[in-house]
Each structure stands twice: as structure tokens, then as C-alpha cells.
Structure 1
Amino acid sequence: MDTQSSGTLQSPSIFSESSKTGSSRSGVADINEKEMDLTKDNSASPIDLECHIQTERITKILDEAIYKIKLSLCLPHFVQEYKTLSSVLSDQHMDDLIFIFEQYDNPLFSDSLMNVTVMEDLKAGDVSLKNRLNPELGHLIYIMNSYPALAPKVEEMIEEMKASCVGDEAAPPQPGLEFLLAMEQFKELMVRQMETTAAEELAAKISTRKLEASNKNLLHKIEEYSTKLKEESERFEKTMKLKTEIITKLQKELAMLNHEASLKIKKKILDSERQMVLASRAHAVKNDMLKEEENECKEAYENLLRTHLADEKNQRARRFKVETQLLSWLQKYDLEMGEKQIELDELTEKYEDELQKCEVLEQKLAEQDKEYIPLMAEREEEYHKEMTEKMNKFMLEHAARVIQTAWRDVLANRAEKKKLKKIQKKMQAAAAAANKKPPKK
């Protein structure tokens, strides 16, 4: 709801409130246009003005009633939240409210309950709602209604109540909230009824008459269908009688079968009991055997424990010896390492000095290499040239020698060939001469 002014709530107009519903938006726009036209002269009839005034009066009354219902629903929450009331209400009104709350909590001390009948009911233990009501609660609602600053808080609480009821379907119903919803629905219905015109009412009546006519036809059909249903129900009853007879027969057969089954079950139970007795005896014998094995195992376990304890003592003694030896070795190691560390430090100092000297020498060598390397390169080039010249000379001389020896060989071969030719000629001449001589007598 909207704000209040001068001690009472000023409810919004019927049209602004009804615009929240989706069904009456177009009607609201038309009525707002009419309301704007009502300010002009000769724009509406006196009947329309009177209807408009009465609608606003009715809506204001309904809005005030709904707001008071909301206040009454929010009273317990306001009592629990004392800070909201104390921050909004004045001190005097706050004292009045506290006085009314105390009377409501203790009705025996209220002025409205001092009659004899109510006192007798209270003594008998009947502390019902009728004996707890007093007229001062109305004054409490009037005081809270006179403060418009409480309206937003009231609306928030009501929205939370509605949301909790909608969210939790398993929650118990709240009569006060249901009454509030019914009042709001009643207000919407009143708004719709006041918004409807005479033509719309006539159209609604005509539609209802048509629906009544169709309803009569439907009732006639319902009577026909009901007769058919009766006939079918009679048939169904007959079939059900036959089925019940069959069921009774089957039940008797079931009883006989159950009796036979119970006898068989008893026999099986007796047999199982006998088997259980035999099994229990066998288990008793096994239990005795297991107890003997348990005793033997305990003795073996104790013997093992003794041996293990003796071994543990020996191992602990050995461990103690090893630890003492280790400590002595560690002490010797520390002493030796101390002496060696001194020697190592001296050697490291010497090594660092030598390293510095080597670095100095390397720097000097680098400086010398800058001059030495190009000189050596020039020397290698000159040496390479000399060697190449010597090699060339040697190759030429060697080639000349080879050629000379080869030529000498050729000349010797030619001389030998000439000698051979001369010898061949001499041989041929001697052979020819031998052939020409006559034979001897």
C-alpha cells in the first residue's frame, strides 16, 4: 500500500490499484480518461460523478481495511522486533503500546475481563481467544495506522509471508493470510464490478442465459448417461457376486492348502531342530578342540616372546656398542678433519696465489701473442715460399735425370740391336759359305 496522511492511510485510487491486474488494463485506461474529463464543465452527468465518488469511497474503505488486516498480521513480528516500533513511534504511543501488550499477555489484570463470567472461565482454566480480546487492541491498531512510516515495513513482511507460503507447500495454512488474500480478491472483484458498464452486464446476462440453456441439455444427457450407468452397475454387481462366490471357493481351497503347508512346515521345523542339535554338539566338540589349540598357541606365543625378548636385549646391547663406536669415530673424524681443514686452507691460499700468477702470465702471453702471431705468420709464408722453390728445383732436376737415364737406355738398346744385326749377318754369311763348299772324297 502507499503512504498515509494526517493520522489515516490515504489509499491510492481504484484505477491505479486495479492496473496491477492483467484482466482490467484496458478498462482502467478508459476510466482514467473519464476521470480527466470530469474536471471540465458539462463533461459528465451527475450520476457518473456520484458513481465515481462512491467507487473511490468504497476503494478507500477497502484499502484501509486491507491495511489494517496487514497490520494485525504483522503485529507479532513488530512485537518481536522492538527496535522498528521504537524508532518510528513516539514515546507516548510507545508507552501505550507496551501497556496494551502487557494486558494482552496477562488478561487477568485487564479492565475488560473483570466481569464475573469471564473470571469464572479463567479460574476454570479456559484461556481462549474470546477471553483475551479487549477494546484496547483496536486503539493499538489505530495508533500504528497513524504512522505512515510503518507501511513499507508492513508490505515487506506481508510479501515475505506470501513468498514463504508459496515456496513451502508442506507449511501449515495461515488463516490470517488466507483472509487477507480473500479480501484482496474481493477488492479486485469489486473493482471489476464497478468498472463494468451496463452493456457489459447485459452481455454477461445473455451469455449466462445461453449457458443455462446449454446446461439444461447437458443435464438431460447426464440423466441418460446415469441410467446407463445404473444398468452397467447392476451388471457389474452380478458379475461381482459370481466373482465373490469363486473367491470364497478359492479361499476354502487356500485354507486347506495352508493347513497342509503348516503341517509340512512343522515337520521341516522338527527336522531342522534335530539338525541344529546335532550341529550344536559337533560345534561344541570343535570348540573344545579349538580351546586346546588355543592353549598350545598361547604357550608357543609365550616361548616366542621370551626368545624375542632375549634377542631384543642382545640387539640393544649391540646397538649401544655400535653407537658408542660411531660416536668415537665421529670425534676422531672431527679432529682429523680439523687438522686437514687447516692444511686445505693453506693449500687453497697457495692455489689462489698460483692462480693469480697464472692469470698475470696469461695476460702477458696474450700481449706477446699479439706481436708474435703476425711475425710467425710472415715467417711461415717465407718458409713456404723457400720450400716451394726448392721443391720446384728438385722436381726439375729429378725430371732431367729421369729423361737422361731413359735416353741413355734408348741409346744402349739401339747399340745392342746393331750388334745383334751384325752378328746375325755374320752367322748367315758363315752358313752360306758352308753350304757352297764341295764334299770331301
Structure 2
Amino acid sequence: MAAAWRTPPPAPAPPPASASASAVPPPRKKLDYVEAGIVGVLDETIYNIEFAVLLPSVLPNLDRFSAVLGPELEGALLEYRPHYDRLAALEERHAQGSTEASEIAELGLTFDDSLRNVLRVLKAHPAAHQALKEQMGPSEGQDALLIQGLSELKEVVVDMFLTSPEEEQAMDRRIQKLTLKCIKHQVTSAALEEKVAAAKKKKDDTINQKREIFFKLQTKLHHEATISEKSLKRMQLEADRQMMAAQKASERRCAVMQQQLEQLCKHYKTLCTENWEKHRAMRQMNHKVEAETESWLQKYDRDMGALQAELDRLNVEYAEELEQRRELEHKLADIEPECARIREKRRVALKLREQEEREACAATTIQALWRSYQLRKTKAMKAMKAQKKGKKGKTGKRGQKDKGRKGKK
């Protein structure tokens, strides 16, 4: 992964020891503050991921690793294990469609805080981390690929930081040397073309000379036709065959040299294009990595500052509420006897009030019964008097007055 980010250009042939010592400056051996901070963030990330990869195997076996972890780290892991188990159960139920993502998000905040606490305690116990790595062995699968990729990224970043401007200038000088070599190849190709043309001209002259010789021989043969006609034909065929063979050989050499020339030109153009593309890609990747690193550092500083402020505020509020609780418990202990006495008074007063209400209700009932009894008695007496009057008839006024007075009484 890191090799794809920064592919070094092909190195030219090494110059002599004296020339390289004078042309290439010594590389920078130390990082500045910002670069060291970036490398430190990468180291911390790799350290945390290595420990996080070991957590699923360590949490179920805390008793077995208690001697390695120590009491403080073991306590932090014991606080972290319930959050881990609950989050795993929620994710499993969410995969089955029986829970909502909001519950996982709410639990994720508590899970993140607990995990940060474990990592904070782990920083103070590097020996425990090393012992766990030795006992558990190297990680495998996607986790190992992630850790390896981050390690390669760190090496690339350190290499990029340690590459000084002088080294870049030395690289540019090597590229210029390659360009000069390509120009020399062009000059050599032109010289070869001139040699090919000279050889072709020389071969044509040779052919012309041989043709002249042939014509001379032919003339001579014409003069000597009477001597041997078969000998003349044989010499003519031999001369034609040699001429065609020489011409074909010359054409083949010319074609081979032309093909070599075209291949050299294509190779030179390909090298120039690749060098420019790699140089531009390296610069773009350098700017992109610097911008992303700066943005991540700023975001990390902002998030850590906000979380620290929130943690301080919660600690202050918790201390205040704890103090208020102690005061309220003390006051409650003081007023508990008084409350019991007041409750007892209220119970006695309620009992007396209920008894008075029952007595008043009984008195009212007795009075009502007595009045009804008096009314019935009066009505009965009046009825008896009316019957007596019907039997005796009318009496004198005096008797009526006396009866009226008795009735009134």
C-alpha cells in the first residue's frame, strides 16, 4: 500500500565514490517538532490497534492474564468488558432486525469512553502490552494487513520527511544526466544513420564497379565467344547471384539498423514521459498527505480539548452533587425523630377526631329517633281525642276551652 503512494524513480548507474560524495549532500538525520508529532500519532495509532486486536481474546480470559496485566489494567478491562458484551449483543440483534441503530449509537458513546480509559491505562504499562503480544502471537487476516499497512505508511512518511531539498536537487541532477545520455544516444543514432548511408553508398559503388567489371567481362566474353559459350554463361550466372546476395544482405542490414534506431527513439520518449509523470504524482501525493495530516491533527486537538473540558465540568458537577447528598443525608438523620413524633401526633389526633365524629353521628341519630317517637305519640293522642268527641257529641264552651287548654299543654 505504501509502495503505491511513493514509487522511487529508477536509479542511474552509481558514479565513482569521490563524485557521489561531492555531488549528493548527506541526508537529514532528525525530524522537527511537527514531523515528530505526526510520526508519534502514527506510532500511537499502531500501538492502540495492536492492543485492540488482542482484546477479543483477552477479555474472556482475564483470570489467566491477571498476572501479566496488573491490578490497574485488569480493573479497567473489567469495567470495559460489560460494555463490549452489550454492544456485541446489540449488533447481533440489529443484524437480525430486532433493535434500532439509535440504541447502538447511544451505547457506542459509553463504549468509546471506556475504551479510551483502557488505552490511557495501557500507556502506563507498556510491559503488559509486550507480554500479551508474546503470549497471543502475531495477528492474522485483515487485522494483520491493517497493522502492516500503517507500518508501511509510517516508513513512507518518515522517508518523505527525511528527504531534504538537497537530495531532491541531486535527484533532479540525475534526471538531467539521464536526459543528456538520451541526447547522446540521439547523436549516436544520427552517426549510425550516416554510417549506414556511407555503407549503402559504398555498396552501391562496389556494385557499380562489379557491373563495370561484368560489362568488361561480357565484352571480353563476346570477343571470346568462340572459345567457350558454356563458361561465359556460368560466369554470368555467378556474377548475378553474387550481386543479388550482396544487395539482399545490404538491405537486411539497413532494415535491422533502422529498426534499432526506431526502438531507441521510442524507449527514450517512454523514459521521458514516465519520469515526468512520476515526478508530478510524487509532488501531488506529497501535498495531499501534508494537507490531510494537518487537518487530522487539528481535528484531534479540537476533539481532545472539548472532551477534556466536558470531563472537567462533569467532575466538578459530580463533586458538588456528592457534597449536597452528604448534607441532605445528615439533615435527614437529624429530622427523622421529629418526623416520627409529628406522625404519631397526627395519628392520635386523627383517632380522636374519628371518635368525636362517631359520637356526634350517634347523638344526631338518637335525637332524630326521639323526635319521631314524640311526633307519633302526639298523633296517636289526637286520634284518640277525635274518637271521644264523636261518641259524646258537642259539649259546652267551658268544656271546650278546658279541652283546648289541655290540648295546648
Same fold (TM over 0.5): no
TM-score of the pair, normalised by structure 2: 0.31
Structure with larger Rg: 1
TM-score of the pair, normalised by structure 1: 0.29
